[in-house]
Amino acid sequence: MLNSIGLQNPGVEYFMEYDLPWLRTQDVAVIVNACGSTIEDYVELCKILNKADIDGVELNLSCPNVKAGCLAFGTTYEGVKEVTSKVREVLDKPLIVKLTPNVTDITLTAKAAEDAGADAVSLINTLLAMSININTRKPYLANNTGGLSGPAIRPIAVRMVYQVSKAVNIPVLGMGGIINGDDAVEFMLAGASAVSIGAGNFIDPYTSVNTVKGIEEYMKKHNIENINDIVGKVEMN
């Protein structure tokens, strides 16, 4: 899936008043994905979220930093470290830093998150991509470029999860093209303690439920009692 839907949403106050109460009636942890255009945006947002009835915050660092020529915060060691440490000062809840794959060495930005006090890192966000309509000669997306997700990116995500899990001592949450239990197990073998699903939900809204069932089937087939036992257990050639 190639998307450029942007991050528009009704804002944190609306979320807390209308969405959060319903989410809280579900038997699940609520982790809020937070974004901003400046460091001040992230800090303001996280001050508000710190008082909210949520279980944690995931910082989306793939957003353009308007004060740094619109380069994404997450593309440099310094950028990740600065925004993460400023947020850490105001946020007592678990802090996950979500990494962009649009870098040369993702272990550097992962280390920056760890050095700045993040409790975990999650990866990968979408890959910057473009597709052109050959008849009109125009890119399909009005924004020309967008973010690529879904099964096409899975091998890249698995490789990055493996590299990051070897480079940091905090938990790694894996994502990128998971659509079933086997895919989830692959990420866990690469080093992910947990996984999440984005584009797969557009193929089938039951993807997450079926993925849980698939993980359980794998555990039965391989006599695994505790799924944590497979985390990072890939046997390299």
CA-CA distance, 171 to 66, in Å (whole number)? Answer: 30
With binding defined as CB under 6 A, does residue 65 bind ligand FMN?
no
Annotation marks residue 70 as catalytic: no
Q: What is the residue-wise DSSP string for 182-207?
A: HHHHHHHHHT-SEE--STHHHH-TTH
With binding defined as CB under 6 A, does residue 125 bind ligand FMN?
yes
Q: Which of the ranges 48-56, 130-138, 194-202, 212-220 carries the binding residues for ligand FMN, by CB under 6 A?
A: 194-202
- The structure tokens listed for 209 are 């439920």
Q: How far apart are the first and last CA of the chain?
A: 32
CA-CA distance, 227 to 139, in Å (whole number)? Answer: 43
Compute the least distance from the CB of residue 9 to ligand FMN, in Å: 8
Q: Which of the ranges 43-51, 70-78, 89-97, 146-154 carries the binding residues for ligand FMN, by CB under 6 A?
A: 146-154
- Residue 89, exposed/middle/buried by CB under 10 A (0-12, 13-18, 19+)? exposed
One of 33, 143, 145, 228 touching ligand FMN (CB under 6 A): 33
With binding defined as CB under 6 A, does residue 210 bind ligand FMN?
no
One of 87, 168, 175, 231 touching ligand FMN (CB under 6 A): 175
One of 74, 174, 177, 181 touching ligand FMN (CB under 6 A): 177
CA-CA distance, 190 to 200, in Å (whole number)? Answer: 20
- Beta-strand pair 172-174/194-195: parallel
One of 74, 79, 150, 174 touching ligand FMN (CB under 6 A): 150
One of 74, 146, 181, 198 touching ligand FMN (CB under 6 A): 198
CA-CA distance, 48 to 43, in Å (whole number)? Answer: 9
With binding defined as CB under 6 A, does residue 197 bind ligand FMN?
yes
Compute the least distance from the CB of residue 127 to ligand FMN, in Å: 9
One of 39, 42, 83, 98 touching ligand FMN (CB under 6 A): 98
What are the φ and ψ backbone dihedral angles of 195, each rounded to 5 degrees? -135, 160
With binding defined as CB under 6 A, does residue 149 bind ligand FMN?
yes
Helices (H), the chain: 12-14, 20-23, 39-50, 77-90, 106-115, 154-167, 181-190, 200-203, 207-221
CA-CA distance, 116 to 85, in Å (whole number)? Answer: 5
> What is the pattern of x (binds ligand FMN, CB under 6 A) and - over residues 3-32?
x-x-x-------------------------
Active site residues: 63
Residues found near ligand FMN in the complex (CB under 6 A): 1, 3, 5, 7, 33, 60, 98, 125-126, 149-150, 153, 175-178, 197-200
